Structure 1
Amino acid sequence: MMEKINKHHRIIVACALLVMLVAGLFVTSDYGMPWDELLEIRTLGSNVREYIGLVQGEENEPIKSSTGITFPDYLKNEDMDHGQAAYYAFSPALFVDFGEGAERSLMILWHGYTFLIFMAGVVALYFICATLCGDWKYGALGSLFLYLSPRFFAEGHYNSKDIVTMSLALLCIWFGIKMIKEKKFINSVLFALSGAFATNTRISAVFLFGLFGILYIISLSVNKQWSKRHFLVGLAAVLSFLGFFYLISPAAWREPIEFISYTLKRSADFSAWPGIVYFWGTIHRPVPPLYIPVMIGVTTPLLLLLLILTGHITSVIQLIKEIKTKKFSLSTPIYILCIVYIWTFLLFAIIKQPILYNSWRHFYFLNGALLILAVGAVQFIVSRLKGKWKWISVGAVSAQLVACLVIIIVSHPFQYVYYNSLAGPDPAIGYEFDYWNVSQVNLLMKLVDENPEVMVFKISSNDWYTDDGLKKAYKILPEEYKMHIKVYPFSGGPDLDADYVMQNEMPEKIMEAEKKYQQGFWIYSGNDFVPSMDCPKVASHTTQTSPFNKPVDFMVIYALGESEESMSAEESMTAEESMTVEASMSVEASIAEASLIAKGLMTVEAFREIMEDEEFIVDDERGSSEEISQMFGVAVNEVILATQGASTDPDAMPDATFGYIIFGSSDDAIKYFNARVDNMEMGIEGLGLDVTTTLENSDNKDKWTAKGDWGMGFNLYQCYIRLENTVLVVTKKYNLESDIEPVDAIVSKLGY
C-alpha cells in the first residue's frame, strides 16, 4: 500500500494542494477588511502611478482607484518603506468599474490574490522540507503545519504585508537551497528574484538573502568546489538581486540614498506609529523584552511549538556529529541558518525593544524557518524510534493536525484570535484579540440576520479605534445588509442618535489601563462610558480555542436604549428628525447650565506667556476674528493662534496648534459650537478642522470637551471650551520627529 502511495505521490500531493487552494479561496469572502488594507492598496497605487508616469508621462498618472482610493506621489507616501511589488499583477483590478458594491468586490479579489501568495509559500515549504528530509511525506507535513496553523490560515487571506513577506521568504529559501545544491544560473536568478520581492515587501528579508550568500561561499570552500563558473553563479545572484530590487521599487528611483536610510530607520523602530500594545494585563510602549517570544508561544499550536524548540536541539546535535565525522549534509547547514536567522531578529527585539505593532506579525517572516526546524525535529525523532513508539509519535503529530483542522472549522472565520492553553484560563486578561477590526463586518451581518424584525439599525462606536473599523465594515457590507445599517460617527463618545454601540474589547481594555495609569491616552479621549457595564448585549463574536480557555467576547454590539423595531421608512425618518432636534436642545441647555458655574477666564496675556514658554509661535494673523464672524455669523472679539512645527509653511500641518478665541457672548460661543456640530465641513481658517464634533460634559462642569478623529483615526483634535466669553480650541498632530510635550500637559498648564 505504502509503495503504491510513494509511486504516485506527485499526483497525491498535487491533488491535496489543489484541494487546499480551492477550500481557501471558497471562504475568502468570509473575512472582513483589516486596518491597513486601504493603506496597502494606496501604496500599490503609488507604485503603479510611477510606472505609468514613466511610460506615458506625468500628466497621465492615475491619482485614484475606481473605488476612490487616492494614490499619492510616492515621496509623499509615508509607507514607502515597504513596497507592494508582489501585487503588481493585481493592479489592473484597481481601475475596474465593479458597479454596485465595488468596495466589497475589490476587497474579495484582493483577499483572493493574497491567499494565492500564501499558497505559494505553502508549496515552497513542501519542496524545502521534502528536499532537506529526502522524503515527500515530510514536505507534505511542512505544508500542513503552515496551512493548518489557525492564525496563518486566516491571515493568509488578508495580511498583505507579513504573510506575503513570509511566503516570499520561503520561496527565497527554496531557490537558495537549489542554488547551493545545483549551482545553476537559473537558480541564482530565481533566488535573486524572490529575494528582491521579499525585500521590497519588508527590508528585513535582505538579511535572509545575505545569509544564503554566506552559506554559498562556505559550501564552496568546505567542499573545495571553487571555479570560475561557480563564482559567476554567485555574482549573478548578487547583481540580479540589485537589479530586480531597483526595478520593482519606484520609491528608490528619485532619491535612492534617502529611501534606503528611511527604510532602514522605519524597519528598526516603528516609532512613527503612536499606538499602545496591551499585554499581560496592562499597556506598553515599547513592548517588554519577552513580548515577541511570548506571543509566538501562546499563538502557536502546542505540539508544533514543542517541535520548534526540539528542532533547535536536534539541529545542533546533527551539526556536532557532522563536524566530528567531517561528513556534511545539505540539511544541517540549512537548519543552522534558520536558527541564526530566527535568533538574530528575536534577540534584536528582546535587547533593543523597538516600537512594535500588535502580536508578532512583524516577525511572521520567521515562521517559515520555525516550521522547517519543526519538520526537521519530526524526522530526527521518527528516524530513531521503532515499533509502537514510532507510531505513537506519528499519531501525536497527526492528532495535532486534526485538532488544528477542527479549530479552523469551528472558529471560522475568526481563526485570527486563536490562543493556545498557555495563554491562561482567561486570555482576555492578558492579550489582545481582533486588533485589526476584521470581525466587525461579520458582526453587522449577524445583527441583521438575528433580528429580521428590525428595519434599520442605527449604530455608533464607543471609541475612535472601533469607529474606524465600523466605517470600513459598512462600506464592504453586501448590499442586502447595507440597507439595514446606518452608521453614526464617533465624536468623543457614541452618537446619541444611535440605538446601538459597537465595542472592540481591545480598545476598551486599553482605555481602562490609560485611565488607571494616567498615561498614553492613545485611545481614551475623555469618554468614560463603558457599554459592557451599562448596556445590554445584543450581538457578539465569542472565541474559545482551547478547552482550558474561558470564552471571550471580542467584538460586541450593545443596545443604548429601546430601539424602534419594524419602523416604516417614513416613521424612521420622523423619529430621527425628532431625536436630532431634541439632542440639539439638550446640548444648548447643558452649555447654558455650564456657563453659570464657569470658573474665571484666562487673559490673552496669560495665554501668550504660557505658549511662548512652551516655544510656540504666537500669531494674530492666521484665522482672524472677521473670518470666523462671517463664516459662523457670531461676534468674535479676538483670535490668537499658537503653532509649533511647520509654522513657516502656511500649507503644512503644524505639529501642534492652540487657538484662543474670545467671543462677544456665551450665546455666540453656543452658536459657533452648534454650527460645528451640524456641519463637519466648517472649521477655523488656518486650523483645517474637518471633523464632526459634539460636546461632552466633563467631570468638572467648568470644562467642556469636543473631540473627533482626523485622517488615520488618531485623536488629533480636541476642543476645550470655557464659556462666559472664552473658548480655547486645541489641535494636535503627531510628528514624532520633533519632541513635543503632550497636548494634555500643556492644557493643564493653561488651567483647563
Structure 2
Amino acid sequence: MATRSNTYVKVYFLLVFLLGVFIFKDYGVSWDESIDRINGMVNAKYIMATLAPEWTEHQLVFTNVPDFAAHLENDHGALFHLPLAFMEVVWPGLDSRTYYLVRHFCIFLTFLLALWSVYKIALVRFKSQLLGLLTSALLLLSPRIFADGFYNGKDLVFLSFFTFGIYTLIRLLERPTLARAALHGFATAIATDVRILGCLLFALSIGMFMIEAIWGEKPKAERRQLGKAISLYCVVAISLTVVGWPYLWEDPAGKFLEAFDKMKRFRWEGDVYYLGQVVKGIELPWHYAPVWIAITTPVAYSLAFLAGAVIWLYTVVRYRFAVLRALEGRIDVLLAGWFSIPLLMVILLHSVIYDGWRHLYFIYPAFLVVAVRGAYAVWQASKNSLVLKRATLVLAVLAGAEAVYTAVRMVAAHPNQQVFFSFLSPEQVEQLFDRDYWGVAYRQGLEWISTHDTAAQLTINAPVSIVLENNLAILKPADRARFKINGTDKERYYLTAYRMHPEAYPDTIGNEVYTLKTNGIKILSVFYRW
C-alpha cells in the first residue's frame, strides 16, 4: 500500500513538472522583471570586481551596468537573480527572449519546490500522503499563485524558499540532528537573501526551539543534541546569509540593520485602485490585504481555513499548553505564527503593500495547511452524526465542484490566471479593482498586432512604456524589430491593461481593434489610430 501511495506522489509531481515544461513559454514578462535583471547584473559586477577586478574591467557585458554603490536597489536581495546574471556573463550576446524563457522556467522550478515543500509539511502534520497531496493540489489550483509561478521572481520565489525553510524547521524539530540543523540554516539564509523578510524564518525558528526545549518530550540526550543543533543552525544561517547577500559584505551587522530599517520605513508613493477608489500606497486601509485575500482565493479554501482556525483556537482554549506536548500541536503553533504574524504586522504597523496581496503570498501555504486541517476535522466529526455526515458530504461535493470549476477557469484563462477573482462578477471587478497589474497580458497584444498587421514598422504606445519594453523582449527577434515605442507617427497602436484606469478610453485614442478577456473580465485592449 505504501509503495502504491509513493507511486501516486511521484506521478503527481511528474505531471506537474511536465505541465510546466509545456506552458512556461506562454507567459509575458512582468513589470519588475527587467528591474530584477539589472539588479542581478549589478550584483554580479560587484562580486566579480571584488574577486577579479582586472578581468571585470575588460568585460563588455558590464559596460552599461551601474556601479554597486550608485545603484538605488543595491540593498535588495539578488540571490535568485545572480545565476541568471552570470548566465549572461558567460554567454555574451544572449538574446532577451532566451533570457526570459530561462528565467521563467527557473521560477517555475521554485514553484515546484513550494508544491513539494507544502506536501511534506502536510505529510508530517497529518501523517497522510492523501492529505499531503490535497494540500499541494490546493496550492496548484490557486490561480494567481499558479500564474505568478512562471514570472514573479520576487514574491513567488520568496514563497517557495520560505515554505522550504518551514519544512526544514519541522524536520529539525522532529529529529534534531546536526545535518538537519545545517540544512535549515541553509534554507533560512536562502530565504533571507531573496527578501530580507526571510529573517522572520529565523525568528520563528528561535521561538519554536524555545517551545521545543520547554514542552518537547525528549530524553536528555536529545535535548543536549537540540542545543548543539540550535548553535550550528545559528552559525550556518547567519554566515550563509552574509555570503549570499553582497550588500552585507562590507559591514554585515550594520548593513543588515540598515536594510531592515529601510524595509520598516518603506514608503511607496504610487497609487492603487481599490474598491472603486484611487488610494495612495501610504494610505491603504487596514482591510486592504484581508479583502484581497478573500476575493482572490477560492471560497471553499477560505471557509475551510476559517473552520481550521476556529477549531485550533478552541483546542488552545480548552487544553492550553497541553497542546504543545505533541509535535502536531507545536506545528499548529508554527502555522499560526507563519500566517498571522506577517498579516498583523501589515495591519498594525500600516506597512505598505500594493498590487493586491503579493507581498504576503508567502503566508498562503500556512493558510492552506490550516484549511486542510479544518476540512479534515469537520469530516472526522461528521462520523458521529448521520445528519452532520450528510451535511458534510454536501459541503464536500460543493467544495469539489468549486475546485473543478476553478481548474476549468484556469485552463480557459491561460496564460492570464493572474486576473482571477473567486466570486466577483466581471462588472464588479472592472469597477472596483486593478486588473492585470503585472502587465504580462501586453505580450498577447503585441503578438496580435504582429500577426494581423504586415507593415514593416509598427508604432506602439501604452500608459507606461516599461510594460511594452519588457514584453517586446520575449518576442522573437524578427517580430521585436518591427516595433517602435512612442514614435511620432500619426498611425499607431495604443495598448492598455486597465491598471489605474477602470473607465472606458475616449475615441481620440483610436478604435478598439482587439480585446482580451479572461473569464469575462476585460484585461487588455488594443486601440488603433490613423
Name the CA distance, whole Å, in 1 between partners of 2:456 and 2:424.
42
How much has 1:321 moved relative to structure 2? 4.4
Shifted more, 283-292 versus 394-403: the winner is 394-403
Name the CA distance, whole Å, in 2 between partners of 1:434 and 1:65.
36
Report the CA distance shift for 1:541/1:266 in structure 2 as closer, same or farther (over 3 A): farther
Query: Alignment partner for residue 192 of structure 1, among 185, 191, 196?
Result: 185
The 5 A counterparts of 1:536-575 are 536-544=511-519, 551-561=520-530
Check conservation: 2:445, 2:495, Cα contact below 8 A: no
How much has 1:92 moved relative to structure 2? 3.8
Check conservation: 1:315, 1:336, Cα contact below 8 A: no
Counterpart residue type for residue 39 of structure 2: T
Question: What secondary structure does 1:85 align onto?
Answer: coil
Question: What secondary structure does 1:27 align onto?
Answer: helix
Check conservation: 2:311, 2:374, Cα contact below 8 A: yes
Asked if 1:44 corresponds to 2:32, the answer is no
Partner of 1:280: 275
How much has 1:447 moved relative to structure 2? 2.8
How much has 1:423 moved relative to structure 2? 6.7
Report the CA distance shift for 1:434/1:220 in structure 2 as closer, same or farther (over 3 A): same
How much has 1:282 moved relative to structure 2? 1.6
Name the CA distance, whole Å, in 2 between partners of 1:69 and 1:297.
47
Query: Alignment partner for residue 250 of structure 1, among 246, 249, 255?
Result: 246
Partner of 2:413: 411
How much has 1:191 moved relative to structure 2? 1.1
How much has 1:40 moved relative to structure 2? 1.2
Question: What secondary structure does 1:160 align onto?
Answer: coil
Question: What secondary structure does 1:384 align onto?
Answer: helix
How much has 1:396 moved relative to structure 2? 3.6
Name the CA distance, whole Å, in 1 between partners of 2:507 and 2:115.
41
TM-score by length of 2: 0.91
Report the CA distance shift for 1:532/1:307 in structure 2 as closer, same or farther (over 3 A): farther
Pair member with larger Rg: 1
Asked if 1:355 corresponds to 2:352, the answer is yes
Question: What secondary structure does 1:289 align onto?
Answer: coil
Check conservation: 2:514, 2:527, Cα contact below 8 A: yes
Q: CA RMSD in A?
A: 2.6
Report the CA distance shift for 1:471/1:532 in structure 2 as closer, same or farther (over 3 A): farther
Name the CA distance, whole Å, in 1 between partners of 2:58 and 2:31.
22
Query: Alignment partner for residue 488 of structure 1, among 485, 490, 501?
Result: 485
Check conservation: 2:515, 2:526, Cα contact below 8 A: yes
Residue correspondences, number: 520
Asked if 1:289 corresponds to 2:282, the answer is no
Asked if 1:84 corresponds to 2:86, the answer is no
Query: Alignment partner for residue 106 of structure 1, among 85, 99, 102?
Result: 99
Name the CA distance, whole Å, in 1 between partners of 2:497 and 2:58.
34
How much has 1:193 moved relative to structure 2? 0.9
Partner of 1:141: 134
Query: Alignment partner for residue 13 of structure 2, among 17, 20, 27?
Result: 17
Check conservation: 1:316, 1:336, Cα contact below 8 A: no
How much has 1:496 moved relative to structure 2? 4.7
The 5 A counterparts of 1:448-597 are 448-449=450-451, 451=452, 454-456=454-456, 458-463=458-463, 465=464, 467-482=465-480, 485-489=482-486, 495-509=488-502, 530-531=505-506, 535-544=510-519, 551-561=520-530
How much has 1:165 moved relative to structure 2? 0.8
Check conservation: 1:65, 1:94, Cα contact below 8 A: no
Counterpart residue type for residue 119 of structure 2: Y
Name the CA distance, whole Å, in 2 between partners of 1:65 and 1:384.
67
How much has 1:19 moved relative to structure 2? 0.8
TM-score by length of 1: 0.65
Query: Alignment partner for residue 119 of structure 1, among 112, 124, 129?
Result: 112
Gapped runs of 5+ residues in structure 2? 384-388
Partner of 1:217: 210
Name the CA distance, whole Å, in 1 between partners of 2:57 and 2:155.
27
Name the CA distance, whole Å, in 1 between partners of 2:254 and 2:402.
48
Partner of 2:256: 260
Higher relative contact order (CA 8 A, sep 6+): 2
Query: Alignment partner for residue 74 of structure 1, among 68, 71, 77?
Result: 68
Counterpart residue type for residue 555 of structure 1: L
Partner of 2:308: 311
Partner of 1:301: 298
Query: Alignment partner for residue 159 of structure 2, among 156, 163, 166?
Result: 166
Report the CA distance shift for 1:534/1:438 in structure 2 as closer, same or farther (over 3 A): closer
Counterpart residue type for residue 81 of structure 1: D
Report the CA distance shift for 1:170/1:65 in structure 2 as closer, same or farther (over 3 A): farther
Task: Select the structure that is richer in helix.
Answer: 2
Name the CA distance, whole Å, in 2 between partners of 1:302 and 1:134.
26
Check conservation: 1:124, 1:171, Cα contact below 8 A: yes
Name the CA distance, whole Å, in 1 between partners of 2:391 and 2:95.
56
